[in-house]
């Protein structure tokens, strides 16, 4: 493998075939021209990249509990500033946190909010695979409406999760950070551009990156890029930036694909195509349409 691609994250990890986060890590860290310190909340990424006594990380790396990655990096970043002030460190260092949706939307939201509000100079990268995948596909607040998970199982009384996803980007924007963006592993050039911008911005920055999970979404490993692209082509996962409160949509089409194009081929949604549950697809399409219209208004 190209040495440039693996300069921060080696190929010797145990992520599932077709997993998106190795590409996300390399795309993001590859945009830093400075040394990087990484903190990683507990989750799939941490478990598969740090099989004791080995590690895939080629950067200084801190493993945290689910809930405290942002708090830990806040302390590291503040210690760095103090050491700079004392003349003990003279080089520029970037600080990056990686976390899944369970450790970001839910368990880690409090420490993330505190770090954003205090203004620590670091980039938080969320790889969003829409459930607690490391522990077997339990629902999170990032799980979409209608999805079948271990804790929202499909049956006679249930069509899967019956709540909408949490709007985490709106929550991040409410902290008045200078830069936040939503990206997708299928659009690597867009992701790299956003990572570069985030790393060059002073203060806290945030990237929410769509990260399909072949194991628990139940689709062929070869299809993760196609599936991720369809998420944006249906307007389910828009690509946009928020810079100093100003919204910019990065990808648009006059003819978005119907949400069925994203749902089909995923085992977690196969029950929605039964006659009994077809109304759920209609409701999910309505949610996607309303969320898109709201985003368009924010960007105008």
* CATH at 48: 3.40.50.970
Domain hosting 32: range is: 21-299
Number of separate domains in the chain? 1
The span from the CA of 176 to the CA of 129, in Å, is 25
Q: What is the pTM of this model?
A: 0.96
CA end-to-end distance (rounded Å), the chain: 43
Q: Is residue 32 part of a domain?
A: yes
Is-contact 129 22, C-beta < 8 A? no
Q: What is the pLDDT along the chain (300 residues), one digit of tens a residue?
A: 556 667 899 888 888 888 998 999 999 999 999 999 999 999 999 999 998 899 999 999 999 999 999 999 999 999 999 999 999 999 999 999 999 999 999 999 999 999 999 999 999 999 999 999 999 999 999 999 999 999 999 999 999 999 999 999 999 999 999 999 999 999 999 999 999 999 999 999 999 999 999 999 999 999 999 999 999 999 999 999 999 999 999 999 999 999 999 999 999 999 999 999 999 999 999 999 999 999 999 999
Is 206 in a helix, a strand, or coil? strand
Give the count of beta carbons closer than 10 Å to the beta carbon of residue 258. 12
Q: Is residue 59 part of a domain?
A: yes
Q: What is the pLDDT of residues 3-56, one digit of tens each?
A: 666 789 988 888 888 899 899 999 999 999 999 999 999 999 999 999 889 999
Give the count of beta carbons closer than 10 Å to the beta carbon of residue 269. 26
The per-residue pLDDT for 208 is: 98
Q: Is residue 214 part of a domain?
A: yes
Q: Is residue 177 part of a domain?
A: yes
The span from the CA of 79 to the CA of 39, in Å, is 15
Q: Is residue 149 part of a domain?
A: yes
Is-contact 228 170, C-beta < 8 A? no
Identify the residue whose tokens are 């692209």: 229
Q: Is residue 171 part of a domain?
A: yes
Q: Is residue 86 part of a domain?
A: yes
């Amino acid at each position: 493998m190209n040495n440039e691609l693996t300069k921060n994250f080696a190929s010797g990890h145990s992520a599932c075939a077709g997993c998106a986060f190795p590409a996300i890590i390399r795309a993001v860290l590859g945009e830093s021209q400075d040394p990087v310190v990484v903190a990683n909340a507990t989750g799939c990424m941490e478990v598969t990249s740090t099989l004791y006594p080995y590690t895939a990380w080629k950067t200084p790396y801190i493993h945290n509990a689910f809930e405290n990655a942002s708090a830990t990096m806040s302390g590291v970043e503040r210690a760095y500033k103090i050491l700079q002030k004392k003349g003990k460190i003279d080089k520029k260092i970037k600080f990056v946190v990686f976390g899944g949706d369970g450790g970001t939307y839910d368990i880690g939201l409090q420490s993330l909010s505190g770090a954003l509000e205090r203004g620590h100079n670091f980039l938080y990268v969320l790889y969003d695979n829409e459930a607690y995948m490391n522990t077997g596909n339990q629902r999170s607040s990032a799980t979409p409406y209608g999805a079948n998970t271990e804790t929202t199982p499909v049956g006679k009384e249930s069509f899967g999760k019956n709540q909408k996803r949490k709007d985490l980007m709106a929550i991040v924007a409410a902290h008045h950070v200078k830069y936040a963006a939503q990206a997708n592993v299928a659009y690597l050039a867009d992701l790299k551009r956003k990572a570069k911008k985030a790393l060059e911005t002073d203060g806290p920055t945030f990237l929410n990156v769509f990260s399909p999970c072949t194991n628990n979404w139940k689709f062929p490993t070869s299809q993760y890029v196609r599936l991720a692209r369809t998420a944006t082509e249906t307007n389910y996962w828009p690509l946009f930036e928020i810079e100093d409160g100003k919204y910019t949509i990065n990808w648009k089409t006059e003819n978005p694909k119907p949400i069925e194009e994203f749902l089909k081929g995923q085992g977690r949604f196969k029950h929605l195509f039964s006659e009994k549950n077809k109304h759920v697809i209609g409701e999910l399409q309505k949610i996607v349409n309303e969320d898109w219209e709201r985003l368009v208004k924010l960007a105008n």
